[in-house]
Amino acid sequence: MLSRILLVVLLTSGVGNCASPQGAPPSYPPDSYAHRASDGHVVLYWNCVREGGVLKLEGVAQNPWEAQPIRFLAFDLIGVSAQDRTVSRTTGAAPDIQISTNQIAPFHLNVNAVGTEARFDLYYQYQFLEGEEMGARLAGPLVAFPRIVAQTNVSLVRDACAEGKHRAR
């Protein structure tokens, strides 16, 4: 009899926890980020803040739909003059080696601005494994291992901190 009562209590508390809004995952896109960019595999959300002579770019990277993880996500933030010359630069990387489906990884970049920057360009790169489609393997001759090709994808967000560009909302 005691075991039945214990079972009922456990089930009731489990159902109550599932129905409560406290366990709800955060919504995406995040409301706290002003900028957004995507290249088809990864989505970036970020804010730019100037503090003295430093431009701080802080955000998150998300893998919203790819079954393959995003690996080795790295960034370059480059200050460009009106003559299209690099005048300041910093690099960084996501702390996680890989970002799986529906996961996010924070990132931040701080660049010491020299004051002659006309814009800040954000380059990002990562590795993504492209595999053969299942239909292609079934149509061709049998092979021992599926062919997997690691690609390094490089993307550019031109003028990443401009107020009117790359809006998240």
- Residue 117 is predicted with a pLDDT of 96
- Domain assignment of residue 37, yes or no: yes
- Domain assignment of residue 20, yes or no: no
> What values do phi and psi take at 15, rounded to 5?
-65, -40
pLDDT lower than 50: segments of the chain = 6, 9-10, 14-24, 132-137
- Residue 92 is predicted with a pLDDT of 97
- Residue 140 is predicted with a pLDDT of 55
- Residue 139 is predicted with a pLDDT of 53
- Residue 146 is predicted with a pLDDT of 58
Nearest to 128 by CA among 36, 41, 37: 41
Cα-based angle 94, 156, 98 (whole degrees, multiple of 5) = 25
Nearest to 110 by CA among 48, 163, 34: 48
Q: Which two tokens stand for residue 144?
A: 């021992």
- Domain assignment of residue 167, yes or no: no
Q: Are 122 and 160 in contact (CB under 8 A)?
A: yes
- Residue 61 is predicted with a pLDDT of 96
- Give the CATH number of the domain where residue 127 resides: 2.60.40.1150
| Total domain count, the chain | 1
Domain that holds residue 62: 27-157
pLDDT in tens, 61-81: 999 988 889 999 999 999 999
